[in-house]
């Protein structure tokens, strides 16, 4: 909290407004997903989202200078699997606000995958953060298990894992 307090003192009003805009758009994104799932099946809606975003990117963004396999793996993990799992989870009953929160499991998953696949060193601070994140996810899962099925929670965690593979 001290870090955040110091950081906000360094931020201009413009920086704060941009940060709030990101938070607002992130939240509205999940409301739009919920509304879209009321109109379309989850996998069709995920494919539609991917196509609407991919077409302008293909037209206006130059292909990165990376091997095709890495580009395809990124697209499959971040573009396709993340949203297929997320939309399936929300369609299966994952509440909108909770979906937004549980999807952030991508952060600890990214650190763990970096250590396992890229041999990155995990610091004690990162281990503490992962422990706190996992503890929070266990509490959310426990609460969901008491009042609903765990399937939406597991699907959302798979969406977070897919996002981590994209990272």
Distance CA 110, CA 166 (A): 9
Dump pLDDT digits (tens) for 1-26.
676 767 777 888 898 899 899 989 98
Residue 84 has what pLDDT? 92
> Regarding predicted confidence, which is higher, 83 or 6?
83
Distance CA 76, CA 74 (A): 5
Question: How many whole angstroms from its chain centre is CA 59?
Answer: 25
Dump pLDDT digits (tens) for 98-148.
999 999 999 999 999 999 999 999 999 999 999 999 999 999 888 888 887
Distance CA 96, CA 57 (A): 28
Q: What is the mean pLDDT of the chain?
A: 90
User: 79 with 54: CB under 8 angstroms?
Assistant: yes
Q: Which two tokens stand for residue 7?
A: 């950081």
Whole-prediction pTM: 0.83
């Amino acid at each position: 909290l001290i870090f955040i307090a110091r950081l906000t003192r360094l931020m201009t009003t413009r920086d704060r407004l941009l940060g709030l805009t990101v938070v607002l758009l992130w939240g509205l994104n999940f409301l739009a997903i919920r509304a879209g799932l009321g109109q379309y099946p989850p996998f069709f809606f995920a494919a539609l989202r991917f196509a609407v975003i991919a077409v302008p990117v293909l037209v206006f963004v130059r292909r990165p200078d990376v091997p095709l396999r890495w580009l395809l793996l990124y697209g499959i993990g971040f573009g396709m699997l993340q949203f297929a799992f997320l939309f399936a989870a929300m369609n299966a009953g994952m509440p909108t606000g909770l979906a937004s929160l549980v999807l952030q499991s991508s952060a600890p998953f990214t650190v763990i995958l970096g250590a396992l696949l890229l041999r990155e060193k995990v610091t004690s601070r990162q281990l503490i953060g992962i422990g706190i994140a996992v503890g929070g996810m266990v509490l959310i899962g426990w609460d969901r298990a008491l009042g609903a099925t765990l399937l939406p929670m597991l699907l959302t965690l798979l969406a977070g894992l897919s996002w981590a593979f994209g990272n």
